[in-house]
Structure 1
Amino acid sequence: MEQLILSFIEFFKQFSYAGIVLALTFEFVPAELVLPLVGYWVYQGDMNLIGAVIAGTIGGTTGPLTLYALGYYGGRPLIKKYGKYFFVKEKELEKAEAFFEKHGPAVAFLGRFVPGIRTLISIPCGVAKMNVWQFSIYTFLAMLPVTALYIYLGMKLGEHWQMAGEVAKEYLLPIGIIIIGIVLIMSVSRYIKAKKAQEF
């Protein structure tokens, strides 16, 4: 399966930076596979690092927009019926919905760093009719550092670009811990505000 996906990604290389955007727009293609490979293309001298990061971040925004649109125009009934064709699992969707209900629109940014919901968080954002520009900006800002990290690692690892995922975990873990900390602070803050409101 991975080899098939790699062949699919390689096909888009002929379209240069636009090809990176196109490859990432298909949500079933893991960005963790695309971006280090793009980094390897930078290592080979076929692409520029800055151009690759910009294209990767744009693709990392247009991809989630497809799931956002699915939620926005189809709602939950359509997701339940056709979600399997987009590799959407019911359990993961429920997690993403619960996360959205707790933290509101900010999840379009925060959710990108939380394993298990980072991809599917786009759907509840769409179902809730979140402003599309707000969603896109939050997603772009979240994807920029992640994209830069994976492409940079792919470039530095060169022939061993496939190891980028393992190396990235070392960097993403502390970021994830910080994000979880922010989420917890937000939850406690909301709880305290709700308690005070009840008292009055």
Structure 2
Amino acid sequence: MHHLSYLVSHYGYFGIIVALIGGIIGLPIPDEVLLTYVGYNVFQGKMAFLPSVASALFGACCGITLSFLLGIKLGVPFLNKYGPKLHISEAKVARTRKLFDKFGPFLLLIGFFIPGVRHITAYLAGINSYSYKKFSLFAYTGAIIWCTIFITLGRALGENWIDFRFYFSKYSIYLVLIFVLGCVIFYNFWRKRKMQKVF
């Protein structure tokens, strides 16, 4: 936490960008805690809300785009060789690949809310030769929702933002399951509507 507060307090919006690029690529940075802490800084008046969200969005989009490009250029061998150094284990890759096969590009959207998954989805999109248009539609939409929610949460919690770390670590799996369930329901509804239009 000390490193995150140093980044934000000394480098401001630029610090947010750098931290999120690293976090999305796979460095061990607690992204949700960082975003909530940024929201707390907004609550304190040390940062402005819109520039904070814009900086977070820029960092998240740069990070996930870089992962996507690495997936295109370097493919599976890159993940196998450098994945463990980025805390991306073979088990995580296998689990995410199964989800990716099932939900496809939709996982790019909801993957931001699943720790350990958001780091891999863009690599897999690149490896699977997704078009940039298809990738960006889902990935950037997910980034917008993710950044806005957690920064807003930090601002809303104010002085109690620190409690977020405890509750998130304890209940994050339930929150993620609820969110993913909601997204799956929406995805199935959207797919059925799309199929009805085709026929």
If the TM-score is normalised by the length of the shorter chain, which range does it land in?
A: 0.7 to 0.9
Cross-structure match for 1:196: none
Q: Distance in 1 between matches of 2:110 and 2:37?
A: 26
Give, as a single letter, the amino acid of the residue that structure 2 aligns with 1:145. Answer: I
List gaps (5 residues or longer) in structure 2: none
Partner of 2:20: 24
| Structure 2 counterpart of 1:22, one-letter code | V
Q: TM-score, normalised by structure 1?
A: 0.77
Code of the residue aligned with 1:177 in structure 2: it is L
User: C-alpha separation between the residues in 2 aligned to 1:110 and 1:155?
Assistant: 23
User: Which of 179, 184, 190 is matched with 2:183 structurally?
Assistant: 179
Change over 3 Å in CA distance of 1:38–1:86 after alignment to 2: same
* Counterpart code for 2:183: I
What is the root-mean-square deviation of aligned Cα atoms in Å? Answer: 2.9
63-72 or 112-121: which moved more?
112-121
8 Å contact from structure 1 (residues 67, 123) kept in 2: yes
Distance 1:85 1:15, change over 3 A: same
Q: With structure 2 as the length reference, what TM-score do the two structures score?
A: 0.77
Amino acid at match of 1:11: L
Percent identical among aligned pairs is 25
Alignment: residue pair count: 186
- Structure (1 or 2) with the larger CA radius of gyration: 1
- For structure 1, which runs of at least 5 residues remain unmatched after alignment? 193-200
CA 1:19–1:49: 2 relative to 1, 3 Å: same
What are the residue-to-residue correspondences of 1:49-198 with 2, within 5 Å? 49-114=49-114, 116-165=116-165, 166=167, 174-183=178-187
Query: 1:46 matched to which residue of 2?
Result: 46
C-alpha distance in 1, partners of 2:177/2:99?
Answer: 19
Whole-Å separation in 1 of the counterparts to 2:118 and 2:7: 26
Does the CA contact (< 8 Å) of 2:7 and 2:16 recur in 1? no
Describe the shift of the 1:184–1:134 C-alpha distance in structure 2 as closer, same or farther (beyond 3 A). Answer: closer
Q: CA 1:110/1:7 → structure 2, altered by over 3 Å: closer, same or farther?
A: closer
